[in-house]
């Protein structure tokens, strides 16, 4: 079995570091900073949503926007991810997967360098290493396109019928369905404002990472 995860909001709680970067950017721009709660609600929507949450209006000029985005990412990288931690229950789940002989991997829209920095800090020797990592800049297409998930399957040598995806955004479920994977919503994640995860087409909604063991997901063999 190959269990693939989204990163931010599913495997790790990175909102405190992302919020710190937004606070620093707002200080540079002379804008009031968003609250931690406001930041957390849009983490899964990506950099543009985070910047819009902080600055309210974004530059219309593509070059100006890209410069702003790069500055935000540089401020985020400078935090060294000091506040980012595993979501509660994730280390235990990874240990169980390793003991079972199951593989796990990551498919995220986060850039590769930032993804690796998070993992270098959090992956302890007692935790199994991911079989595959596909980041937001690994391919030309990102989630909700299924291409990153299909690429992860190829890298891991896994079949969709023996694989599943866990994420906290509708885009994750869309990508999983497009790749013919079983899809599970991480209700502990960053679900955004007024979410309706029951309408996302998932196979199940999980309250806690270890619930993955209780819904039969790891024993299923669904030829889709």
Q: Measured between alpha carbons, how far is 45 from 54 in angstroms, rounded to an integer?
A: 13
If pLDDT is split at 50, 70 and 90, which confidence band does 79 have? confident
Give, to the nearest 10 degrees, the angle between helix 47-55 and helix 15-29. Answer: 50
| Residue 224 within a domain | no
Pairing of strands 12-13, 85-86: antiparallel
66 and 95 belong to one structural domain: no
Q: Which of 78, 95, 127 is the last residue of a domain?
A: 78
Query: Residue 105, preceding bond cis, omega within 30 degrees?
Result: no
Task: For 170-223, write each residue's pLDDT tens digit.
Answer: 999 999 999 999 999 999 999 877 689 999 999 999 999 999 998 878 875 544
Task: Report the distance separating Cα 68 and Cα 179, nearest Å.
Answer: 33
List pLDDT tens digits, range 104-156.
999 999 999 999 999 999 999 999 999 999 999 999 999 999 999 999 999 99
**CATH number of residue 99's parent domain:** 3.40.50.1000
> Are residues 198 and 93 part of one domain?
yes
Q: 94 and 62 in one domain?
A: no
- Tell me: do 94 and 56 sit in the same domain: no
Whether the CB-CB separation of 11 and 87 falls below 8 Å is answered with: yes
* Structural domain count of the chain: 2
pLDDT of residue 219: 76
**Annotated active-site positions, please?**
6
Same domain as 91, residue 181: yes
**Could you tell me if 42 and 8 lie in one domain?**
no
Phi-psi region of 101 (alpha: psi -120 to 50; beta: other; left: phi over 0): left
> Tens digits of per-residue pLDDT, 1-52?
999 999 999 999 999 999 999 999 999 999 999 999 999 989 988 899 999 9
163 lies in the same domain as 138: yes
Residues of the domain holding 61: 15-78
Indicate whether 154 and 184 sit together in one domain: yes
112: left (phi over 0), alpha (psi -120 to 50) or beta: alpha
Check whether residue 40 and residue 23 sit in a common domain: yes
Reported pTM: 0.92
89 and 152 co-located in one domain: yes
Q: What's CA 3's distance to the chain center, in Å?
A: 14
């Amino acid at each position: 079995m190959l269990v693939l995860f989204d990163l931010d909001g599913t495997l790790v709680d990175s909102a405190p570091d992302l919020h710190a970067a937004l606070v620093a950017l707002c200080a540079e721009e002379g804008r009031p900073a968003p609250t931690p709660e406001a930041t957390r609600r849009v983490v899964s929507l990506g950099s543009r949503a985070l910047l819009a949450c902080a600055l309210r209006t974004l530059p219309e000029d593509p070059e100006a926007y890209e410069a702003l985005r790069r500055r935000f990412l540089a401020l985020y990288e400078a935090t060294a991810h000091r506040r980012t931690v595993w979501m509660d229950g994730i280390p235990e789940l990874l240990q169980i997967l390793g003991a079972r002989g199951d593989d796990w991997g990551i498919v995220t829209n986060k850039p590769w360098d930032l993804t690796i920095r998070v993992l270098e800090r959090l992956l302890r020797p007692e935790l199994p290493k991911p079989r595959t990592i596909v980041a937001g800049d690994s391919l030309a297409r990102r989630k909700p396109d299924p291409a990153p998930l299909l690429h992860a399957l190829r890298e891991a040598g896994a079949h969709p019928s023996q694989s599943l995806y866990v994420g906290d955004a509708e885009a994750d479920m869309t990508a999983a369905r497009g790749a013919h994977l079983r899809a599970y919503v991480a209700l502990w994640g960053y679900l955004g404002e007024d979410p309706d995860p029951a309408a996302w087409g998932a196979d199940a909604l999980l309250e806690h990472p270890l619930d993955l063991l209780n819904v039969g997901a790891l024993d299923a063999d669904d030829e889709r």
